[in-house]
Amino acid sequence: MSHPVSPLAQPFPEVPAIAGVTPHVVRAGYKDWGRCDLTYVTFTEGTAVAGVFTKNLCCSSEVEIGRENVKRGTARALVVNAGNSNAFTGYRGREAVEQIMDQVAGNLGCAREDVFVSSTGVIGVPLPKDKAREGVEKAFSAAPCTWEEAANTIATTDTFAKGASATAMIGDTKVTLGAIIKGSGMIAPDMATMLGYIFTDAAVEPAFLQECLSAANLRSFSCITVDSDTSTSDTVLAFATGKAGNAPLVTAQSPGADAFAAAIQDVCRQLAHLVVRDGEGANKFIAVSVTGAVSDESARKVGMAIANSPLVKTAIAGEDANWGRVVMAVGKAGEPANRDTLSIGFGGTWAAKEGLPLADYDEAPVAAHLKGQDVTIEVDLGLGEGQATVWTCDLTHGYISINADYRS
Amino acid sequence: MSHPVSPLAQPFPEVPAIAGVTPHVVRAGYKDWGRCDLTYVTFTEGTAVAGVFTKNLCCSSEVEIGRENVKRGTARALVVNAGNSNAFTGYRGREAVEQIMDQVAGNLGCAREDVFVSSTGVIGVPLPKDKAREGVEKAFSAAPCTWEEAANTIATTDTFAKGASATAMIGDTKVTLGAIIKGSGMIAPDMATMLGYIFTDAAVEPAFLQECLSAANLRSFSCITVDSDTSTSDTVLAFATGKAGNAPLVTAQSPGADAFAAAIQDVCRQLAHLVVRDGEGANKFIAVSVTGAVSDESARKVGMAIANSPLVKTAIAGEDANWGRVVMAVGKAGEPANRDTLSIGFGGTWAAKEGLPLADYDEAPVAAHLKGQDVTIEVDLGLGEGQATVWTCDLTHGYISINADYRS
Quick check: A317 and A325 in contact, CB under 8 A?
A: no
Give B291 or A225, the one with higher predicted confidence: B291
Q: Residue B403 annotated as binding?
A: yes
The predicted pLDDT at position A1 comes to 41
- A231, B328: Cβ pair inside 8 Å? yes
Among candidate residues A42, A120, A176, A193, the one labeled active-site is: A193
Q: Which pLDDT score, from 0 to 100, does residue B237 have? A: 82
Q: Could you give the dihedral angle defined by the CA atoms of residues A294, A300, A301 and A305, in that order, rounded to the nearest 10 degrees?
A: 120
Asked if pLDDT for residue A255 goes beyond 50, the answer is yes
Chain B: residue whose CA lies nearest to A93: B356
Half-sphere exposure of residue B75: CA atoms within 13 angstroms, side-chain side: 37
Q: State the sign of the Cα–Cα–Cα–Cα dihedral A150, A155, A161, A163.
A: negative
Partner-chain contact A87 B324, CB within 8 Å: yes
The answer to ipTM > 0.90 is no
Q: B208-230 burial, b if ≥16 CB within 10 A, otherwise e?
A: bbbbbbeebbbbbbbbbbbbbbb
Q: Which of A342, A359, A1 is nearest to A159 (CA)?
A: A1
pLDDT at B232: 64
Question: Among residues B82, B68, B131, B75, which one has the least CA distance to residue B108?
Answer: B75
Instruction: Tell me the shortest Cα–Cα distance from B125 to chain A, in angstroms.
Output: 8
CA atoms of B178 and B241, how far apart (whole Å): 12
Instruction: List the catalytic residue out of B39, B89, B193, B349.
Output: B193
- Identify the sign of the CA torsion A295, A329, B116, A359: positive
> Alpha carbon of A1 to those of A6, A82, A86, B339: distances in Å?
11, 12, 20, 30
- Contact assignment for B324 to A408 by CB distance below 8 Å: yes
Compute the mean pLDDT over every residue in chain A, rounded to the nearest whole number. Answer: 87
CB-based contact, A363 to chain B, within 8 Å: no
At residue B105, what is the residue type? Answer: A
Confidence of residue A190 (pLDDT cuts 50, 70, 90): very low
Instruction: Domain A21-277: give its CATH code.
Output: 3.60.70.12
Whole-angstrom Cα distance, residue A293 to residue A388? Answer: 9
* Cα dist from B13 to A339, B148, B274, whole Å: 39, 9, 11
Cβ proximity of B166 and B266 under 8 Å? yes
Give me the helices (H) in B24-144, please.
Answer: 61-69, 90-108, 129-140
Confidence of residue A27 (pLDDT cuts 50, 70, 90): very high
Contact criterion met (CB < 8 Å) for B357 and A404 = no
Distance CA B374, CA B285 (A): 5
CB-based contact (8 Å) between B110 and chain A?
no
Measured CA to CA, the distance from residue B117 to residue B28 in angstroms comes to 15
Q: What is the pLDDT of residue B25?
A: 97
User: Across-strand partners of B200?
Assistant: B177, B240
Percent of chain A with pLDDT over 70: 94
Query: Which of B125, B314, B321 has its CB closest to that of A400?
Result: B314
Q: Quick one: which of A157, A172, A67, A154 has its CA closest to A116?
A: A67
Query: Chain A contacts of B320, Cβ < 8 Å?
Result: 404, 406-408
In this complex, is the C-beta atom of B408 within 8 Å of any C-beta atom belonging to chain A?
A: yes
Residues of chain B scoring pLDDT < 70? 1-3, 185-194, 227-233, 405-408
Three-state secondary-structure class, residue B269: helix
Please report how many Cα atoms fall inside a 13 Å half-sphere around the Cα of residue A38, on the Cβ side. Answer: 24
Is residue B283 a known part of a binding site? no
Range A12-19 average pLDDT: 91
Q: Which of A141-145, A245-249, A319-323, B186-190 is the least confident region?
A: B186-190
d(CA B406, CA B408): 7
Cross-chain CB nearest to B186 (options A311, A330, A399): A311
What per-residue confidence (pLDDT) applies to B59? 78
A327/A93 Cα distance (integer angstroms): 45
Whether the CB of A302 is below 8 Å from some CB of chain B: the reply is no
**B193 belongs to the catalytic site:** yes
Sequence letter at residue A247: A
Return the CATH architecture of domain B285-405: Roll (3.10)
A282-305 burial string, b = 16+ CB within 10 Å, else e? bbbbbbbbbbbbbbbebbbbbbbb
Tell me the domain boundaries of chain B. Answer: 21-277, 285-405
Task: Say if CB A216 and CB A29 are below 8 A apart.
Answer: no
Residue B310: its chain A contacts at CB < 8 A?
Answer: 227-229, 310, 399, 403
Does residue A375 sit at the B interface (CB-CB below 8 Å)?
A: no
pLDDT for position A408: 44
Q: Yes or no: say if A407 and B320 are a contact pair by the CB < 8 Å rule.
A: yes
Nearest to B327 among A55, A123, A404 (CB): A123
> Which residues in chain A are contacts of B308 at CB distance < 8 A?
228
Measured between alpha carbons, how far is B373 from B370 in angstroms, rounded to an integer?
A: 8
Question: For residue B95, which of B61, B60, B58 has the smallest C-alpha distance?
Answer: B61
Contact list in B for residue A156 (CB cut-off 8 A) is: none
Q: Which residues of B touch A186 (CB under 8 A)?
A: 311, 328
B334 reaches A (C-beta below 8 A): yes
Mean pLDDT of A380-392: 93
Residues 183-202, chain A, touching B (beta carbon < 8 A): 185-186, 188, 190
Among residues B93, B89, B116, B91, the alpha carbon closest in space to that of B105 is found at: B116
